[in-house]
Amino acid sequence: MNDNENKAFPKDFLWGGATADFQYEGGFGEGGRGTNSQDFVTDGSIQRRRQITLQLKDGSRSSVNSLESFPDGAEAKMYDDEYYPSHKAVDFYHHYKEDIALMAEMGFNVYRFSICWSRIFPKGTEEKPNPEGIAFYRNVIDELHKHGMEPLITICHDEMPDYLARHYNGWENRYVIECYVRYAKALFEAYGDKVKYWLTFNELNAIHGYSKIGVHKMTPQVYYQAQHHMFLASSLTIKMGHEMMPNAKFGAMFAMSEMYPATCKPEDIMAAYLQRRENYFFIDVMARGRYPNYAAEIFERKHVTLKKEDGDDEILAKYPLDFVSFSYYRSTTVAKDNFKCMDPMGIMGGNPNPYLESAPWGWPIDPLGLRYCLNELYDRYQKPLFVVENGLGAVDKFEDGTVHDEYRMKYLADHFKAMRDAINIDHVPCFGYTMWAPIDLVSLSTGEMKKRYGFVYVDMDDKGNGTLKRYKKDSFWWMKKVIASNGADLSLEYEKK
Ligand code: BGP
């Protein structure tokens, strides 16, 4: 056995959890919050995809699934008889003190959360931020510090003020860069002395459509143009952030899923390579600071002509990411005949791997793939790494005031071991881990509550009924033990203390 295998994690390793506002916070219509592009997305399931409800040009009601284009002239609209999970989510807005205390009790020293852009700038076009929105997150940050926790802020997690989507077509419009940078500046002015770690965007490689990037029609042209604007917004924000907060560190988050060739047939290996490359495209631009040479092949194949202005390339080159962060839930396989570049993450499933078991919502469980990703990402970018999402969505049985979720402990223990091996054996500099999601919240892909990730059970069902009361699961106590040992003790034994 290698002597380094069971060593603890590095001394200052950051252990914590991650959430996103529209899945967790709620507080719709409170504190001056403006409507957000995610507020029109209904609940759903694996069989029934989440819908964005619409009003058509002739005034009639319709809907599209959250990745599809709107019919001409249609606009997003809410209806009283629909359930929209983002409105209440699990109400962190009114439970933040209790939730942060629970996270602290497990020993977290970091908490990753996203700020709701429309809580700070309700329309996105205002000159001055909403003071109530600024105050809410200041209270959250102060509460974290009170408990010795470091905030890690996602500036934009798959959403935007609805006004910018509706009137400007979201990120397709270059004007939105200016709005985003003004928003980031307001955050840096308000919290710059309290927050060191920032993520400019969440999963740029996996966001499509109106709810996430504000565009009415999804074509490759619109998609890559929108991405170009997000790359620029990120770089300009990093520039400004470093000027305003010399100690701050910036990342952006990518959805990683190891994409293995389905067989050793050269055609499958090539298909897997091409699909991986298409996924890496986004990190390549932001971490290396330039479009990769293979971008030309993607743009030719998809008939994309990017509109760039003079100076864009210099901005990307001068202000790349300080660290690379990513989500990792599973791996997938790629064969020549299942190659589908536009949706590399297959958020609703993924191709099976005969060597792996799948989690309840179909994602193959592959801890070793995390070690592989960490090695590959470091080798590719030579930048420190942060695993900012990983966890198991499962159907939990609530009994005796708790959940006996050994399956969750096992999933996490195996992934922690893989991460520990990457750090201790392979010498990959990974400085933190935030588990998705420490308190149960609404699933992004299906809008369900029953796909639960947390160490803490929240009493709420798929339609938002319940007391919202929080209960510690068995894994709560286990995680507390793991953090207390700084990851040296990953056994499934624990005591409830
Ligand atoms: C990531 C998102 C999160 C989160 C997670 C789990 O892609 O950044 O917002 O929800 O996936 O996905 P789901 O909620 O669909 O299980």
Distance (Å) of CA 320 to CA 176, 206, 340: 20, 20, 29
Residue 257 or 486, more confident: 486
Question: Given the CA of residue 446, which atom of ligand 1 is nearest to it?
Answer: 15
Residues 214-267: tens digit of each pLDDT: 999 999 999 999 999 999 999 999 999 999 999 999 999 999 988 899 999 999
The answer, yes or no, to whether the previous bond of 437 is cis (omega within 30 of 0) is yes
Question: If you average pLDDT over every residue of the chain, what do you get?
Answer: 94
Cβ of residue 421 lying under 6 Å from some atom of ligand 1: no
User: Closest Cα to atom 14, ligand 1: which residue?
Assistant: 443
User: Closest Cα to atom 12, ligand 1: which residue?
Assistant: 444
Q: Is the pTM of this model over 0.85?
A: yes
Average pLDDT over residues 184-212: 95
Cβ of residue 203 lying under 6 Å from some atom of ligand 1: yes
How far apart, in whole angstroms, are the C-alpha atoms of residue 179 and residue 183? 6
How far apart, in whole angstroms, are the C-alpha atoms of residue 466 and residue 179? 38
Phi, then psi, of 343 in degrees rounded to 5? -130, 60
Question: Given the CA of residue 345, which atom of ligand 1 is nearest to it?
Answer: 7
Helix (H, G, I), strand (E, B) or coil at 138: helix
Q: Decide if 389 is catalytic.
A: yes
What single-letter amino acid sits at 140? V
Cβ of residue 205 lying under 6 Å from some atom of ligand 1: no
Q: First CA to last CA across the chain, in angstroms?
A: 32
Q: In angstroms, what is the span from residue 402 Cα to ligand 1's centroid?
A: 24
User: Closest Cα to atom 3, ligand 1: which residue?
Assistant: 444
**Tokens matching residue 249:** 């560190």
Helix (H, G, I), strand (E, B) or coil at 387: strand
Residues 378-433: tens digit of each pLDDT: 999 999 999 999 999 999 999 999 999 999 999 999 999 999 999 999 999 999 99
Residue 345 or 457, more confident: 457
Cβ of residue 451 lying under 6 Å from some atom of ligand 1: yes
Cβ of residue 19 lying under 6 Å from some atom of ligand 1: no
Check 25, 150, 203, 448 and give the catalytic one.
203
Q: In angstroms, what is the span from residue 127 Cα to ligand 1's centroid?
A: 32
pLDDT-derived band at 342 (thresholds 50, 70, 90) equals: very low
- Strands 402-403 and 398-399, how do they pair? antiparallel
Residue to mutate, 436, 441, 448, 452, ligand 1, most ligand atoms under 8 Å from C-beta: 436
Cβ of residue 443 lying under 6 Å from some atom of ligand 1: yes
